[in-house]
Chains A and B, each alone.
Chain A
Amino acid sequence: EAEVAQSPRYKITEKSQAVAFWCDPISGHATLYWYRQILGQGPELLVQFQDESVVDDSQLPKDRFSAERLKGVDSTLKIQPAELGDSAMYLCASSALFEQFFGPGTRLTVL
């Protein structure tokens, strides 16, 4: 069964360092989403891609976060510099029509 892949699964970093997360969507899924989930809350959208284009990044803190999907397949989310408040689960999801399938997530801890 096709799945969304993410790496790393866990990341511990110090404040002010740079971190990067990778996502490989289900093959053929044109739409890719990055969500952030703070402990005890529901996921919230950071950015949406349609193929290689950004559709919605209105909630992405652009002073420190960047996201790209250069060839319209896999995607990278970067944070530089990381802050304590960035500690969260970062979830990648992909969809072909409307139903979204989520990857295992990357748990980020900023010390």
Chain B
Amino acid sequence: ELKVEQNPLFLSMQEGKNYTIYCNYSTTSDRLYWYRQDPGKSLESLFVLLSNGAVKQEGRLMASLDTKARLSTLHITAAVHDLSATYFCAVDMYEGNTPLVFGKGTRLSVIA
């Protein structure tokens, strides 16, 4: 059974600090997705990582993928309150155009 594990599940951090969210998965998938979800809202695509060593950055968020370690990280730099949300990583269930298997999510709260 494919498993996607995120940690931490809850993260409270001060504005201006840095932190990393980790996503481990159990398949040999070469693709990994990061989504953001605000309370009561749908999923917003943040990053699509397509190969080993892929690194993408948008604003204060940077995501990377190590397919050999089956690990992705989402690094937050100098956190601001607007980043408060739940972040999900997901991988393809199979190869090709397939459903996603999601982690449980990391609920991030940025406090002043």
Contacts and interface: CB of A to CB of B under 8 A. Distances in A.
B79 interface: no
B103 A98 contact: no
B31 A43 contact: no
Interface stretch (B52-60, B61-69, B89-97): B89-97
A72 interface: no
Chain A contact-residue range equals 20 to 34
A104 B42 contact: yes
Contacts of B35: 102
Contact of B42 (A33, A50, A56, A102): A102
A44 B102 CA distance: 7
A45 B91 CA distance: 12
A43 B48 contact: no
B93 A45 contact: yes
A102 B40 contact: no
Interface string B1-42: 000100000000000000000000000000101010000111
A19 to B, nearest CB: 19
Interface residues of B, number: 25
Given A33-B99, A48-B99, A41 B104 contact: yes
A102 B105 CA distance: 16
Interface string A38-73: 001111110010100000100000000000000000
Contact of B104 (A42, A99, A107): A42
B45 interface: yes
Contacts of B100: 43, 45, 100
A49 B61 CA distance: 33
A2 interface: no
Interface of B: 4, 31, 33, 35, 40-45, 48, 88, 90, 92-93, 96-105
Interface of A: 31, 33, 35, 40-45, 48, 50, 56, 89, 91, 95, 97-105, 107
Given A56-B99, A100-B45, 11 more contacts: A31-B97, A42-B90, A42-B103, A44-B102, A45-B101, A91-B42, A98-B31, A98-B97, A101-B45, A102-B45, A107-B40
